[in-house]
Copies of this chain bind each other. A is one copy, B any other.
Amino acid sequence: MKTKHIGFLHPGAMGISLTVSAQNSGHIAYWASEGRSPETYKRALKKNLVETQTIEELCDRCSIIISVCPPHAATEVAEQILQYSFKGIYADVNAISPERAKDIGEMMSDAGIEFVDGGIIGGPAREPDSTWLYLSGHAADQIATCFASGPLETEIIGDEIGKASALKMCFAANTKGATALLCAIVAAVEELGVRKELETQWSRYDPEFAQETLSRISRVTAKAWRFSGEMEEIASTFESIGLPNGFHLAAHDIYQRISKFKGADLTPAVEDVLDALINP
């Protein structure tokens, strides 16, 4: 199998796990350092990524570029590529709506770039059977090949741009939507003075549920800043097919209220999270 030169924009916790699967599969992973954080620099150095200073240089040296970034940045990252003469395959594996994936796909096609739609389910890929990259589009198999040796798993679901993003949106609609709902509910019982009673009632069905829920609420604060944008993408996905968008606009609001915990050294106490939810 031919060694591929693959650029990653930009290797965060998830992205770096993709670069490792690419390296495991015999390929060379690149990153563009200009304007990136010291954390990204450390990650890239640790995993022996090839550094290019600029995105332009990365475009010159790579035949495949994979965009893995927070959803709100997906279009901006794609537009940066269009400034240069990149003519390979561009895969967007971000948590964006199928409509936005199609828009980016059209921008790319118009510029003579082959576009692949992707969506990642699971956390950073550290072991087999834990993280799935779903892909759709004519060149989906060429992206799947980048990660053939894993631990990232890949699944191709047809030629149509938007399918991989649709699946990602609907999967996250439940997991991240349900967590946001629980945040709102525990904030409500706290404010209404019946938190102890709800925890007791929950315990009648499942002795672990109350404690697990409180822990889930504290832990989600670390990713809330990123989930917030993803909830808007899901809301827009639902709206585009005539289903109510309110679940995920509310979830967006909830994650916004706790996004200030980004980068906190310690997982906050549940009382502090509830305070942020009730007094935004």
Contact = CB atoms under 8 A, between A and B. Distances in A.
Contacts of A132: 201, 204
Using C-beta atoms within 8 Å of the partner chain, give the interface range for chain A: 35 or more
A226 interface: no
A57 interface: no
A173 B184 CA distance: 9
- Looking at chain A's contact residues, the main secondary structure is helix
A136 to B, nearest CB: 9
A121 B202 CA distance: 11
A192 B102 CA distance: 13
A50 interface: no
A59 B129 CA distance: 65
A264 interface: no
Contacts of A249: 244, 246
Interface string A137-179: 0000000000000000001010010110011011101100110
A243 B242 CA distance: 25
29 contacts: A132-B204, A157-B194, A157-B197, A166-B189, A166-B192, A167-B192, A167-B201, A170-B185, A171-B201, A173-B181, A173-B185, A173-B188, A178-B181, A180-B247, A181-B181, A188-B237, A188-B238, A188-B241, A191-B243, A192-B237, A242-B278, A242-B280, A243-B278, A244-B250, A244-B253, A246-B247, A246-B253, A247-B247, A247-B251
